[in-house]
Amino acid sequence: MEKWMRGDMHPSYRILMGPGPSNVHYRVYQAMSNPVIGYLDPQILACMDEISEMLRGIFQTKNQVTLAISGTGSSGMEASYVNFVEPGDVVVIGVNGFFADRMVQVASRCGAEVIRVEEDWGKKIEPEKIIKVLKEHPGTKICGVVHGETSTGVRQPLEEIGAYCRKGDTLLVVDAVTTLGGYDVKVDEWGIDVCYSSSQKCLSAPPGLSPITVSPKAMDVLRSRKSKVQSFYLDLLLLEKYWGQERVYHHTAPVSMFYALREGLRIVYEEGLEARFKRHEMLGDRLKMELEGLGFKPFAQEGYRLPMLTSVTLPDGVDDVKARSRLLNEYNIEVGGGLGWLKGKIWRVGLMGETCKARNIHCLMGALKEILA
Amino acid sequence: MEKWMRGDMHPSYRILMGPGPSNVHYRVYQAMSNPVIGYLDPQILACMDEISEMLRGIFQTKNQVTLAISGTGSSGMEASYVNFVEPGDVVVIGVNGFFADRMVQVASRCGAEVIRVEEDWGKKIEPEKIIKVLKEHPGTKICGVVHGETSTGVRQPLEEIGAYCRKGDTLLVVDAVTTLGGYDVKVDEWGIDVCYSSSQKCLSAPPGLSPITVSPKAMDVLRSRKSKVQSFYLDLLLLEKYWGQERVYHHTAPVSMFYALREGLRIVYEEGLEARFKRHEMLGDRLKMELEGLGFKPFAQEGYRLPMLTSVTLPDGVDDVKARSRLLNEYNIEVGGGLGWLKGKIWRVGLMGETCKARNIHCLMGALKEILA
């Protein structure tokens, strides 16, 4: 019994400039210390209503079914496919990064026949390219794209794809894990049917919840399924009955995480969406400029670089692992390495939510100047 | 923007004597206020190792694959079927309550051909009855039973079923959501192959994680699957690579919940398993006796009543909803109502983990005497 008795855990206070989680406001930690209550307690139901209401504002939607799934962003991705795919359904996915590729895996496991629309990692996908494939496959059930590709730092334009999907039966599924709360995600205006995100990036709550919103069009598709949804845990018809007016028990809600998300969302509202987007844009530009000054080169396509996640190739002679490990251990700063084949080739530097402050750029620059010296 | 700006959330401090969540030690809340760190930070990996190690002790197992799934207990149930069932596999499930019935639904959605071994709700299932069905279906892939049926308060004996399954290829899946940390769950000795639980009952951390342990026999079955696991999020081969030595990114770990679970487990170890089980047994008996004194009648079969969850039928003339609502609103005490067809007929009174104290019995009795007067 020695090992686990060895003392309290005192994790270091990191500046979290990786691809998420981001730093968490002290008010959010305080909210988590509120006493746990039951999953049907009127007070937790009110808290859930407030979360839904605030999420609708941030997703810029009127969708009734707007809630937080009791799992991380990956569970939101899975919910977005497992609820709508039936075996043999055609799904078109734009693939220009690690998380788009994961969409393919998730959709395939749900029984979909997936058509990949490929693009080089680091580039956006031309909307016309996706629309062309959709036209060639008129019965496509779902078109899936990643709004902010966390593996490459690329922002994908969605308006044209949404406008096309809206005209027919195809559902547009969008991964807004990295963008929500730091960039416009106009679910209704752009014609997105299913949009999921995560609690720990630009919303700056701890990881563990996946906000999701589902259009009436998508709910109709769900209700007219021939087979039951594979996943009981992620079944949106059951989640709707718990989050909606019926209040039917589905699972024991992670109430402490709800407290955290509620407080994180309140902080978003206090700042205001426009101001928040502007802050991410300005400081994202600033970070890119300063990193270029040190010899890093932007990896993502110009004009489509994410403000909250900057991808850069390393200056000659810089050892990826050594440099990141010095940043972490000597300066308490986390930045992200590359995923997949980009491992060792790029860094991913996040400026999300609470982390997105000029002083964090200063800390990083100061540390990097010493490390690269 | 008015609604969500209306102020801090101040949930009432409830005595949580329902079927879970239970009350949380203040040290666990403090642990959650530790700063969030990244999902591959050496400090979080060490924390995960400690969680695995402590869970092995509480599951009484040497299973290498022992970890916490990033979802609630229901996600643990789903992981226990989705990883091992392939379409058409025969699954035998002992059904004597709401959660056993949910097992049937979950297994069916995974494509299993489920054979139900029925028993009246409130009674244990005779192990011979299950073994007889297993003998009639020698190719059975999984036998599923609920150790502590949260809907009825019944404890299911597992030794004989485990001894039978051990002799052949059938995997024994056990739901220990309610029992783990409050009663013996001897995974290795009893021959359990997959055992899942939840963070918020006798472990007294907040809800949001599902501890699970998987035997080498079950991992072999998983590794020799013909098809991929339906769920990417719950794929134990991928989770093993993240929790094990390879440390391959799978999802962004819910680090604040890990802090909470780690602290909850340390508290379990400080008390010691034997002392903890004894406390649940003694106070569970005490509660049953006192409730009988007020005219409540035990619902579960004698000799197989759970110590940590007492099910009772109501005294004549007591209105279920009114009485529970007075308990909650006037006395800040939560007790659980009946699930399924037991709604309105029974109460489920929990004494789990931190809640399991004599003073909470006193509070409940005092309140009930006033309400029933």
Task: Check residue A353 and give its pLDDT.
Answer: 98
* Distance from chain centroid for Cα A62: 20
Residue contact B265–A4, C-beta within 8 A = yes
Q: Do A132 and A159 belong together in one domain? A: yes
Domain assignment present for B3: no
Q: Do A116 and A183 belong together in one domain? A: yes
Domain count, chain B: 2
**Given the structure tokens 């594979």, which residue do they identify?**
A230
Q: Do B65 and B85 belong together in one domain? A: yes
| Residue span of the structural domain in which B83 resides | 27-268
One pLDDT digit (tens) per residue for chain A, 373 residues: 445 556 889 999 999 999 999 999 999 999 999 999 999 999 999 999 999 999 999 999 999 999 999 999 999 999 999 999 999 999 999 999 999 999 999 999 999 999 999 999 999 999 999 999 999 999 999 999 999 999 999 999 999 999 999 999 999 999 999 999 999 999 999 999 999 999 999 999 999 999 999 999 999 999 999 999 999 999 999 999 999 999 999 999 999 999 999 999 999 999 999 999 999 999 999 999 999 999 999 999 999 999 999 999 999 999 999 999 999 999 999 999 999 899 999 999 999 999 999 999 999 999 999 999 8
Q: Do A248 and A285 belong together in one domain? A: no
Contacts of B52 in chain A (CB under 8 A): none
Domain assignment present for B8: no
* CATH assignment at residue A240: 3.40.640.10
Domain assignment present for B5: no
In chain B, DSSP assigns E strands to 15-17, 65-69, 90-95, 113-118, 142-146, 148-149, 154-155, 171-175, 194-196, 210-214, 297-298, 309-313, 333-337, 346-350
Number of other CB atoms surrounding residue B126 within 10 Å: 14
Q: Do A103 and A215 belong together in one domain? A: yes
Residue contact B36–A23, C-beta within 8 A = yes
Task: Check residue A5 and give its pLDDT.
Answer: 54
B29: alpha, beta or left? (left if phi > 0; alpha if psi -120 to 50) = alpha
Residue contact A72–B255, C-beta within 8 A = no
Domain assignment present for B325: yes
Domain assignment present for B9: no
Domain assignment present for A7: no
CB nearest to A72's CB, from B10, B14, B252: B252
Is the C-alpha dihedral spanning B259, A10, B41, B218 positive or negative?
negative
* Nearest to B227, CA basis, from A268, A204, A87: A87
Determine the residue among B16, B55, B252 to mutate to test chain A binding: the one whose Cβ has the most chain A Cβ atoms within 10 Å: B252
Domain ends where: B268, B292, B324?
B268
Domain assignment present for B241: yes
Q: Do B208 and B298 belong together in one domain? A: no
Q: If you ran DSSP here, which 8-state letter would residue B72 be given?
A: -
Contacts of A259 in chain B (CB under 8 A): 9, 11
Q: Do A276 and A263 belong together in one domain? A: no
Compute the distance between CA of residue B191 and CA of residue B130 in angstroms, rounded to an integer. Answer: 15
Q: Do B77 and B211 belong together in one domain? A: yes
Give me the phi and psi of A174, to 5 degrees please: -125, 130
Amino acid in position A96: N
Task: Check residue A7 and give its pLDDT.
Answer: 82
Task: Check residue B1 and give its pLDDT.
Answer: 47
Strands B309-313 and B297-298: antiparallel
Q: Do A219 and A308 belong together in one domain? A: no
pLDDT less than 70: residues of chain B: 1-6
Domain ends where: B268, B297, B325?
B268
Is A76 in contact with A177 (CB distance < 8 Å)? yes
Q: Do B59 and B197 belong together in one domain? A: yes
Residue of chain A nearest B177, judged by CA positions:
A252
Q: Do A178 and A88 belong together in one domain? A: yes
Domain ends where: A268, A302, A332?
A268
Task: Check residue B5 and give its pLDDT.
Answer: 54
Q: Do B236 and B311 belong together in one domain? A: no
CB nearest to B75's CB, from A71, A105, A262: A71
Contacts of A256 in chain B (CB under 8 A): 32, 206-208, 256-257, 260
Task: Check residue A1 and give its pLDDT.
Answer: 47
For chain A, the average pLDDT equals 97
Residue of chain B nearest A17, judged by CA positions:
B38
Q: For residue B286, give how far its alpha carbon lies from the nearest alpha carbon of chain A (Å).
A: 24
Compute the distance between CA of residue A75 and CA of residue B203 in angstroms, rounded to an integer. Answer: 24
Strands B90-95 and B113-118: parallel
**Given the structure tokens 């680090």, which residue do they identify?**
B255
Task: Check residue B8 and give its pLDDT.
Answer: 87
Contacts of B21 in chain A (CB under 8 A): 36-39, 252, 255
Is residue A194 within a helix (H) or strand (E), and if so which, with residue range? strand A194-196
Task: Check residue A62 and give its pLDDT.
Answer: 98
Task: Check residue A6 and give its pLDDT.
Answer: 64
Lay out the sheet containing B171-175: strands in order across.
B65-69, B210-214, B194-196, B171-175, B142-146, B90-95, B113-118
ipTM associated with this complex: 0.97
Domain assignment present for A2: no
* CATH assignment at residue B348: 3.90.1150.10
Per-residue pLDDT tens for B183-232?
999 999 999 999 999 999 999 999 999 999 999 999 999 999 999 999 99
